[in-house]
């Protein structure tokens, strides 16, 4: 299981060494029913500590609960009691969220696969490539150190691969003159990254041989989806509504292209120029970052401005604060069940992380190929015609 911590310098209590923010953040926020911060802590030092670390574990879900979800699909989590409760729980209990996250990831990675327990296993490559897991972990760690955006990119790539033909690496297949592959679909290009990340993953999946741009557009939920559309899109892959809300929390890291949400900023509808569910101050900031009519194709903004490189509950807090970036984020508040989960995750980041790990593992089981319809590719990005191509 991958656990993400936020390192902070503890300059006041030790002359050398480091401390994780989670070890003392209770002294900075909500110390007691009468004091927001520990009264024995120097006020100037408190200010410095708050600048060095995010608002405790669970800022993603806290943002959702505070109507600060970046996407509509984030903020929409607070519109349903069923989704608000998990969101609120994840805000205050990050360990519980982590515990749920792992099985969800496993479940997603086993979509449409039968007899998975017998066919997929941790250590599948022990005989053929004993160092496989070590090599992957090393390369992902190296990539993350050079570019922290790699983590968000890999999570998104996993999601986009599993939702189209299952988890068969078809998102890596190259296009040909006669067929446009998934990676070049508008749903993936140019925003998909990470083709170059950790919980134990049962291995043994074979790579797919087919990759079609049209299937990416048909299977991947759009950032404009409402709660019913989101719920159905995930149900089609064997994932529950709660797992949908949990996986939406992955928007707490990474960035988005302006083109994915500018319809919420300009000419929203015939009567309103701006999406009324979007926090006005946040909308103003987004308009500055994404000017109307810009011809720059790669303008991006952080999904969770407060802690875009940390797996916390900031996404859910944003949704609650009407700061969900996508329509599909903010819309989570319009359904009582999803809104409840958003609030629960915003308040209990440990619970959210546990649920996220479980949901990611579950997603990783979508449509797994273990028979002769797949192949073990040694060359990443081989096209459907067998040509070598690297993404």
- In this prediction, residue 308 carries a pLDDT of 77
Residue that the structure tokens 């990254």 belong to = 193
- In this prediction, residue 52 carries a pLDDT of 63
166 has binding-site annotation: yes
Write phi, then psi, for 375 (nearest 5 degrees).
-150, 155
275 has binding-site annotation: no
Q: Mind listing the pLDDT tens digit for each residue in 304-356?
A: 888 877 888 899 999 999 999 999 999 999 999 999 999 999 999 888 988 99
CA distances from 304 to 52, 179, 238, 249, 265 (A): 16, 36, 28, 10, 17
20 has binding-site annotation: no
CA dist., res. 226 & res. 123, Å (int): 40
Would you call the peptide bond into 13 cis, given omega within 30 degrees of 0 as the criterion?
no
276 has binding-site annotation: no
CA dihedral 276, 280, 286, 290 (to 10 degrees): 60
Residue 55 φ/ψ region, left for φ over 0, alpha for ψ in the -120 to 50 degree band, beta for the rest: beta
CA dihedral 77, 79, 68, 64 (to 10 degrees): -40
CA dist., res. 81 & res. 226, Å (int): 16
Per the residue annotation, which of 20, 158, 160, 257 is the catalytic one? 160
377 has binding-site annotation: no
Fold assignment, 54-363: Peroxidase; domain 2 (1.10.420)
**160 noted as active-site residue:** yes
- In this prediction, residue 325 carries a pLDDT of 94
155 has binding-site annotation: no
Partners of 364 in beta bridges: 110
Burial class (CB in 10 A: 0-12, 13-18, 19+), 271: exposed
Residue ranges in the chain assigned as alpha helix (H): 43-52, 59-65, 72-75, 81-92, 94-108, 116-119, 132-146, 149-162, 213-219, 227-235, 241-248, 280-289, 314-319, 327-330, 336-347, 349-362
CATH 1.10.420.10 range(s) for the chain read 54-363
85 has binding-site annotation: no
CA dist., res. 66 & res. 370, Å (int): 44
- In this prediction, residue 315 carries a pLDDT of 93
Residue spans of the chain under pLDDT 70: 1-27, 30-31, 33, 38, 40-42, 44-46, 48-59, 68-72, 108-119, 189-202, 374-391
- In this prediction, residue 248 carries a pLDDT of 94
For the beta carbon of residue 130, count every other beta carbon within 10 angstroms: 11
Please check whether residue 77 is in contact with residue 64, taking contact to mean a CB–CB distance below 8 angstroms. yes
């Amino acid at each position: 299981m991958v656990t993400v911590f936020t390192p902070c310098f503890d300059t006041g209590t030790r002359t050398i060494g480091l401390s994780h923010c989670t070890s003392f953040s209770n002294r900075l926020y909500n110390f007691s029913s009468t004091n927001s911060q520990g009264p024995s802590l120097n006020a100037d030092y408190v200010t410095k500590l708050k600048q060095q670390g995010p608002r405790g574990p669970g800022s993603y879900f806290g943002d959702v609960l505070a109507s600060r979800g970046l996407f509509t699909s984030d903020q929409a989590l607070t519109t349903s009691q069923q989704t608000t409760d998990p969101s609120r729980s994840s805000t205050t209990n990050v360990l519980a969220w982590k515990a749920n996250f792992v099985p969800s990831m496993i479940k997603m990675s086993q979509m449409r696969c039968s007899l998975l327990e017998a066919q997929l296993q941790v250590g599948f490559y022990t005989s053929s490539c004993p160092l496989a897991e070590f090599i992957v972990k090393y390369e992902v760690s190296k990539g993350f150190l050079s570019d922290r955006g790699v983590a968000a990119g890999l999570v998104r790539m996993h999601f986009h691969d599993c939702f189209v033909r299952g988890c068969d690496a078809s998102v890596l297949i190259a296009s040909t003159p006669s067929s446009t592959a998934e990676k070049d679909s508008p749903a993936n290009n140019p925003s998909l990254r990470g083709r170059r990340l950790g919980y134990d993953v049962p291995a043994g999946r074979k790579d797919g041989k087919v990759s079609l741009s049209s299937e990416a557009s048909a299977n991947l939920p759009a950032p404009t989806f409402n709660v019913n559309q989101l719920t159905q899109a995930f149900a089609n892959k064997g994932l529950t509504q709660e797992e949908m809300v949990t996986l939406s929390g992955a928007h707490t890291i990474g960035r988005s292209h302006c083109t994915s949400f500018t319809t919420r900023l300009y000419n929203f509808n015939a009567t309103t120029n701006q999406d009324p569910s979007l926090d006005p101050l946040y909308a103003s900031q987004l308009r500055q970052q994404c000017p109307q009519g810009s011809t720059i194709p790669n303008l991006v903004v952080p999904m969770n401005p407060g802690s875009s490189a940390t797996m916390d509950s900031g996404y859910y807090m944003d949704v609650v604060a009407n700061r969900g970036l996508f329509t599909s984020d903010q819309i989570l508040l319009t359904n009582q069940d999803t809104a409840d989960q958003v609030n629960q995750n915003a308040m209990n980041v440990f619970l959210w992380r546990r649920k996220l790990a479980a949901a990611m593992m579950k997603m990783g089981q979508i449509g797994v190929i273990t028979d002769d319809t797949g192949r073990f590719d040694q060359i990443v990005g081989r096209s459907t015609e067998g040509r070598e191509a690297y993404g």
